[in-house]
Amino acid sequence: MIIININYYSLLKARRAKARLRAMGTDLESLVLRTAKNLIAAAVTRIPDDVVDALRKAMKRETNPLAKKQLEAILRNIDLAASTRGPVCQDTGMMIFFLEVGEDFPLKARLSDILVRAVREATQEVPLRPNAIDPVRNKNSGDNTGRYMPWIGWEIVPGDKLKIAFMAKGGGSEYPSTLVMIPPAEGLRGVKRVVLETIFKAGPKPCPPVVVGVGFAGASDAALKLAKKALLRPIGERHPEPEIAALEEELLERINKLGIGPHGFGGFTTALDVKVDYGYRHPASFAVGVTVACWAMRRSTAVVSADGSVEYLTHKYLNEEV
């Protein structure tokens, strides 16, 4: 017996969405492209409000004059970049996308091509520094794209929406990234050790105050992936599980006790926040991944619905401009 299951409701919805987009003089592909380009431009020119607030608070708290001088320059630079729409840092980073694709969102197999095109066009228009280099032939592609660049993370979720989170990750802060397979018996104590040693070794190099992403799991790649994705969470937001929330707070306090301070001049603010996530481990395997974002935390997020509506979550002013 053959069962044919046609979901008439979603077919009807898709047809209506298409008609609506046609009336707007566009199609979903152009809309995703435009949204991705807006996300790139917004991320590299406007530091999100939660990060700016954290930097302002740090400025109030610091008493060390050299640390204050650094924060002052950072805050002035952020304002200037926003008002001139120029990139906050000359290292406009590596292009990283995290996608949550609704199972009923069209274009699923087209998304990768659309994002590559968005990166290429944004490199010209913002402009961005060409940062994608073929490691085998040591050649810069000139447009920030290439094999596995942009780097795209995929998740399939229910619904008909596409959530695009973008991160422009600086090279200097990617350098101290660490993966350590700790003896499982060391447990959370080992996680704390690895984080503190990583931040110490990095010293002033990743442009502190930094945001620290920590992931632990059984598989090595899972640990680093969770660490990187955790950086998307807003500053000050705690993990929903109380034990992990407490671990985030303890790590933040311990890191700041190291006293590296803004750009390594000492002071209370080495990290603005610590974000932790975890996955189950194997009896014999405990991977700890640490990743660091510089103070110029360039991230942006938007949701595109199949019906053609777009909502920017981090750079809300874009909702009015569209």
Among 207, 226, 227, 318, binds another protein (CB under 8 A): 207
174 φψ region: left (φ > 0), alpha (ψ -120 to 50), beta (else): alpha
Structure tokens at 281: 């481990």
Q: Is position 252 an interface residue for another protein (rule: CB under 8 A)?
A: no
Angle among Cα 112, 116, 117 to the nearest 5 degrees reads: 115
Q: What are phi and psi of 49, to 5 degrees?
A: -55, -40
285 secondary structure, DSSP code = B
Amino acid in the structure at residue 59: M
Which residues 20-79 are close enough to bind another protein by CB under 8 A?
65-66, 69-70, 73-74, 76-77
Q: Which of 189, 246, 316, 322 binds another protein (CB under 8 A)?
A: 189
Q: Write down the least CB distance from residue 7 to another protein, Å.
A: 49
Does residue 184 interact with another protein by CB under 8 A?
A: no
Q: Is residue 263 within the footprint of another protein (CB under 8 A)?
A: yes
Which residues, other chains included, contact 17 with Cβ-Cβ below 8 Å and sequence gap of 6+? Answer: 28, 306, 307, 308
Of the candidate spans 55-63, 82-90, 102-110, 271-279, the one that interacts with another protein by CB under 8 A turns out to be 82-90
In three-state secondary structure terms, 44 is: helix
> Is there a contact between 78 and 50 (Cβ–Cβ < 8 Å)?
no
Least distance between another protein and beta carbon 66 (Å): 6
Cβ closest to another protein, residue 13 vs residue 205: 205
Among 10, 30, 140, 309, binds another protein (CB under 8 A): 140
In three-state secondary structure terms, 97 is: strand
User: What's the Cα-to-Cα distance from 63 to each of 33, 68, 188, 252, 266, rounded to whole Å?
Assistant: 46, 7, 33, 19, 10
How does DSSP classify residue 216? Answer: E
List of E strands, the chain: 94-102, 133-134, 139-140, 151-157, 161-169, 178-181, 210-217, 271-278, 287-293, 298-305, 310-312
The one among 49, 134, 197, 241 contacting another protein by CB under 8 A: 197
Q: Does 290 bind another protein (CB under 8 A)?
A: no
CB of 280 to another protein, least distance (A): 24
Among 30, 49, 203, 236, binds another protein (CB under 8 A): 203
User: Could you tell me which residues are beta bridge partners of residue 306?
Assistant: none
With contacts defined by CB under 8 A, name the span among 54-62, 212-220, 233-241, 290-298 that binds another protein: 290-298
Nearer to another protein, 172 or 234 (CB): 172
Q: Is position 92 an interface residue for another protein (rule: CB under 8 A)?
A: yes
**Which H or E element spans position 118?**
helix 111-125
**Binding-site ranges for another protein (CB under 8 A):** 65-66, 69-70, 73-74, 76-77, 80-81, 84, 86-92, 127-130, 140, 170, 172, 175, 189, 192-193, 196-197, 200, 203-205, 207, 254, 257-260, 263-266, 294-296
